[in-house]
């Protein structure tokens, strides 16, 4: 009976005997596992020669000797000479070192499974009985073909509970950009991160429905903010991330949009680094780009405009934004601008922006509640008040916001168009 084991080879000496394409494939897999690879062969193929030249492998240009097995953890023999492979396998057996014999698997004491990898999870197929590598590969490929959709949905997209079951000494934080709201716009990398999370610290925006897919026992901490109401201040969010990670937990900070586009992700990264907590960032689809697109509004359009300026409404107008708006030289996208819409419009008009400048406000973009309201700059405050525009919303100012620019572009949900009234 064959038992499948996972071997930790990082930094450990592994001997590969042979210098042809088969040996090169084995070496590539070992390098992926960060093994210290030693190749013994009178000549090697170009791939192995390059790896030796780059310092990735240690190569001894001669025939193999029994002493080459000193201090090695694993042996792969792929000389193409069945007698030579059998001799190496015998030396390994005498020394109680596991050996994979590529030419005749029965000669070896270990086998390499046909594998497929997803993140840090490796799925392998191996014969339980007489070695048959070709059959194993066919079975793997057949299974992969038949269950491709299941694998993509559950393993590659992180829909399997991948959390570690053993306590680790060092936790970590992963900032995940969840996108503007539609669950389909959460990246596969983001889903994978959620699949290994012990704790999810979540905003009110973004794909909150993904929380229903979390495995039982995953702790969810809601730190969501609404306009004018911030029950968990930013410094407290940083403290929560650090504290949870210091308990040896994998902490996912699920944020709407992209963490580094007005998401205060930089502050959270600094909080972790100052506390010595490992932190990584998984980018997300920014609402500044995705929401206008979902409403059929191209932020750039050949022959219309070729630049985009993104701003936070609460920070007020920048000089670049005002100049671009006045000269119609760029599209201006405003995030978090509904509450200060009147002030923004007043300032733009004072600076010289044309009252006829097209404006579109897209509420709850990419979701089933999406709604688009359009009006000229001089009328948008009145129209937005009349229809009851509410956050979250993205405001687009410029010629691309005019109706009819892309007649074939669909817009989700109802649309209030007063551009011609």
Within this chain, do residues 205 and 280 fall inside the same structural domain, yes or no?
yes
Same domain assignment for residues 106 and 199: no
- Which CATH number is 75's domain given? 3.40.50.720
Which of 255, 285, 315 is the last residue before a domain boundary? Answer: 285
- The alpha carbon torsion through 333, 339, 341, 344 (nearest 10 deg) reads -80
177 SS3 class: strand
Task: Give the range among 225-234, 321-330, 381-390 with minimum mean pLDDT.
Answer: 225-234
Q: From 61, 87, 112, give the residue that closes a domain.
A: 112
Asked if residue 363 belongs to a domain, the reply is yes
Based on the fold, state whether residues 186 and 216 are members of the same structural domain.
Answer: yes
**Do 256 and 190 meet the contact criterion of CB atoms below 8 Å apart?**
no
On whether residue 345 sits in a domain, the answer given is: yes
The predicted structure's pLDDT at residue 265: 94
Among residues 41, 44, 52, which one has the least CA distance to residue 21?
44
The parent domain of residue 71 ranges over 1-112
- Residue 127: per-residue pLDDT: 58
Residue 151 lies in a domain: no
- Exposed, middle or buried: residue 233 (CB in 10 Å: 0-12, 13-18, 19+)? exposed
Of 68, 85, 198, 203, which one is the catalytic site residue?
A: 203
Q: Has residue 10 been placed in a domain?
A: yes
Look up the CATH number of the domain holding residue 189: 3.40.1010.10
Residue 342 counted as domain residue: yes
> How confident is the model at residue 381, as a pLDDT?
96
Domain contains 334:
yes
Within-domain flag for 270: yes
C-alpha 391/C-alpha 204 separation (Å) is 12
Q: Does the active-site annotation cover 407?
A: no
CA gyration radius, the chain: 29
Are 366 and 182 contacting, i.e. CB atoms less than 8 angstroms apart? yes
224 plus 300 within the same structural domain: no
Whether 88 and 28 map to the same domain: the answer is: yes
Please answer whether residues 154 and 128 qualify as being in contact, where contact means their C-beta atoms are separated by less than 8 angstroms: no
Where does a domain end: 112, 132, 152?
A: 112
Counts of helices then strands in the chain (DSSP H, E) = 12, 18
pLDDT tier at 1, thresholds 50, 70, 90: very low
Q: What is the chain's mean pLDDT, rounded?
A: 84
Q: Residues 349, 258: one domain?
A: no
With cut-offs at 50, 70 and 90, classify the pLDDT of residue 410. very low
> What residues does 107 pair with on adjacent strands?
none
Backbone φ/ψ region at 206: left (φ over 0), alpha (ψ -120 to 50), beta: left
Co-location of 315 and 217 in the same domain: no
How many domains does the structure of the chain reveal?
A: 3
Tokens of 166: 């053993």
Q: Are residues 387 and 315 part of one domain?
A: yes
| Sheet bearing 98-101, strands edge to edge | 58-60, 36-40, 13-17, 74-77, 98-101
Confidence of residue 420 (pLDDT cuts 50, 70, 90): very low
Q: Return the pLDDT at 378.
A: 95
Full-prediction pTM beyond 0.75?
no
Residue of 225, 343, 399, 417 marked active site: 225
401 and 380 fall within a common domain: yes
pLDDT of 360 over the 60 cut: yes
Euclidean distance between CA atoms 93 and 58, whole angstroms: 23
CATH code where residue 390 lies = 3.30.950.10
| Maximal CA-CA distance, the chain | 91
* Whether residue 255 lies in the annotated active site: no
Mean pLDDT highest for which of 155-164, 248-257, 313-322? 248-257
Q: What residues form DSSP beta bridges with 397?
A: 332, 359
Distances (CA, A) of 214 to 155, 162, 190, 224, 247: 14, 10, 13, 18, 20
């Amino acid at each position: 009976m064959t038992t499948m084991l996972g071997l930790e080879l990082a930094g450990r000496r592994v001997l590969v005997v042979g210098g042809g394409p088969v040996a090169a494939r084995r070496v590539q897999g070992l390098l992926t596992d960060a093994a210290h690879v030693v190749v013994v062969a009178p000549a090697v193929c170009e791939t192995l020669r390059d790896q030796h030249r780059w310092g990735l492998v240690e190569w001894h240009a001669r025939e193999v000797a029994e002493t080459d097995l000193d201090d090695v953890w694993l042996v792969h023999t792929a000389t193409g000479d069945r007698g030579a492979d059998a001799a190496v396998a015998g030396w390994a057996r005498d020394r109680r070192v596991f050996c994979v014999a590529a030419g005749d698997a029965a000669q070896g004491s270990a086998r390499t499974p046909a594998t497929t990898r997803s993140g840090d999870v490796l799925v392998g197929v191996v014969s339980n009985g007489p070695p048959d590598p070709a059959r194993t590969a066919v079975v793997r490929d057949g299974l992969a073909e038949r269950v491709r959709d299941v694998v993509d949905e559950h393993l590659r997209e992180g829909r399997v509970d991948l959390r570690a079951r053993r306590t680790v000494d060092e936790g970590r934080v992963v900032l995940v950009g969840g996108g503007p709201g539609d669950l389909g716009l959460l990246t596969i990398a983001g889903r994978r991160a959620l699949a290994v999370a012990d704790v999810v610290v979540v905003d009110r925006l973004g794909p909150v429905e993904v929380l229903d897919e979390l495995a039982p026992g995953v702790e969810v901490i809601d730190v969501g903010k609404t306009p004018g109401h911030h029950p968990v201040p930013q410094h407290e969010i940083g403290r929560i991330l650090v504290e949870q990670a210091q308990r040896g937990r994998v902490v996912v900070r699920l944020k709407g949009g992209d963490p580094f586009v007005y998401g205060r992700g930089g502050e959270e990264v600094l909080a972790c680094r100052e506390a010595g907590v490992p932190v990584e960032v998984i980018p997300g689809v920014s609402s500044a780009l995705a929401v206008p697109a979902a409403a059929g509004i191209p932020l750039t359009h050949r022959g219309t405009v070729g630049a985009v300026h993104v701003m936070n409404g609460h920070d007020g107008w920048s000089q670049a934004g005002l100049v671009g708006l006045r000269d119609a030289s760029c599209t201006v996208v405003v995030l978090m601008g509904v509450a200060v819409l009147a002030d923004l419009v007043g300032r733009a008009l004072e600076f010289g922006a044309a009252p006829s400048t097209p404006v579109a406000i897209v509420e709850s973009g990419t979701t089933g509640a999406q709604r688009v309201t359009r009006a000229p700059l001089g009328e948008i405050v009145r129209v937005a008040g009349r229809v009851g525009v509410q956050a979250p919303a993205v405001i687009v100012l410029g010629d691309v916001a005019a109706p009819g620019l892309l007649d074939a572009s669909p817009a989700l949900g109802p649309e209030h168009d007063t551009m011609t009234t």
